[in-house]
Amino acid sequence: MTLMALFHESTDTAEVIDELHNLGIPDHQIVVITGVPYPEGALGRQREWLTLPYIVLAGAAAGMLFGLFLAVITPHLYRLDVGGHPPVGFPPAAVIIFIFTMMATIVSTFLGVLWEMNFPRFGPAPYHGLVTDGHLAVIVDIPSQLEEQVKQMLESHHAHHIGEPEWMAL
């Protein structure tokens, strides 16, 4: 079963997460939702490993290759010789390669982070509107035999709105 509880304080939230771990509930069955980004480690959770930097690097490399194609290859595809000028020069090629590398870096960062967050995702999901009013929400999957024990523990840490989470259309 799934339980949701709301908290006013981050300290209470961090203590609850510790106690859930002590009850044998693994980290991946606990979701914490906040309206503010808390510093790393503040709630006693492990950070996810991200593929975003690799996506960005791949995007940058693709952009550089595309810039290289435009600046170095295309002048040879329809060659127009202008007196005294080589078909390809280093300074103009450097500008074009740089710009396309940066453009692809930016675009791949944006697309990469959406992909990592699995966005857009408009379906119903466990959520509470009070989160953006400053409350911290803990959503936890627990075996049903632990329900009463977990509820008591949540209440002892000043949780409110304890119960089955509402699946809201986001």
Partner 1 sequence: MPEPDHSPLDTPQSTPYDERLLLAQRTDAEINQAVLQPMMQTGMGFWVLVGFLSLVVVWGLYAWGFLVYWGIGVTGKNRPVYWTLFITTFVFWVGISHAGTMISAVLRLLKADWRRPITRGAEAMTAFALMMAALYPLIHLGRVWKFYWMIPYPNNRLMWPNFQSPLMWDMVAIFTYLIGSSLYLYLALIPDMAMGRDHTNGWRYRLYRALALGWRGTEGEWHKLHRALGIFSVAIIPIFLSVHSIVSWDFAVTIQPRWHSTIFAPYFVIGAVYSGLSALASILVVVRRGMRLQEFLRAEHFNALGKLVLVAGMAWVYFWFAGFIVEWYGNEPVVRELIHEEVAGRLSPLFYLQMSANLIPIVLLVFKRIRTTPALLLAATLLVNIGMFTERALIVIGSLQRNDLPFNWGTYRPTWVEISIVAMTFAGFALLYTLFSRVIPFVPVWEIKEGRLRYTVRRIGRLLVPTAAEID
Contacts with partner 1, 22-61, as mask; x by CB under 8 A: ---------xxxxxxxxxx--x-x-xx-x-xx--x-----
Nearer to partner 1, 37 or 145 (CB): 37
| Amino acid in the structure at residue 1 | M
Task: For residues 68 and 85, give the distance between their C-alpha atoms in angstroms, rounded to a whole number.
Answer: 19
Please, how many CA atoms are within 13 Å of residue 169, restricted to the half-sphere of its CB?
0
Task: For residues 75 and 81, give the distance between their C-alpha atoms in angstroms, rounded to a whole number.
Answer: 10
Binding partner 1 (rule: CB under 8 A), the pick from 23, 62, 64, 106 is: 106
Q: Which stretch binds partner 1 (CB under 8 A): 99-107, 140-148, 149-157, 159-167?
A: 99-107
Binding residues for partner 1, how many (CB under 8 A)?
A: 59
Q: Which residues lie closer than 8 Å to 135 by C-beta, 6 or more apart?
A: 6, 7, 8, 35, 128
Residue 7 Cβ vs partner 1, minimum distance, rounded to whole Å: 13
Task: For residues 21 and 3, give the distance between their C-alpha atoms in angstroms, rounded to a whole number.
Answer: 15
Task: For residues 18 and 24, give the distance between their C-alpha atoms in angstroms, rounded to a whole number.
Answer: 10
- In the complex, which residues of this chain contact partner 1 (CB under 8 A)? 31-40, 43, 45, 47-48, 50, 52-53, 56, 70-71, 74-75, 77-78, 80, 85, 89, 92-93, 95-96, 98-100, 102-103, 105-107, 109-110, 112-114, 116-117, 119-123, 125, 127, 129, 131-134, 170
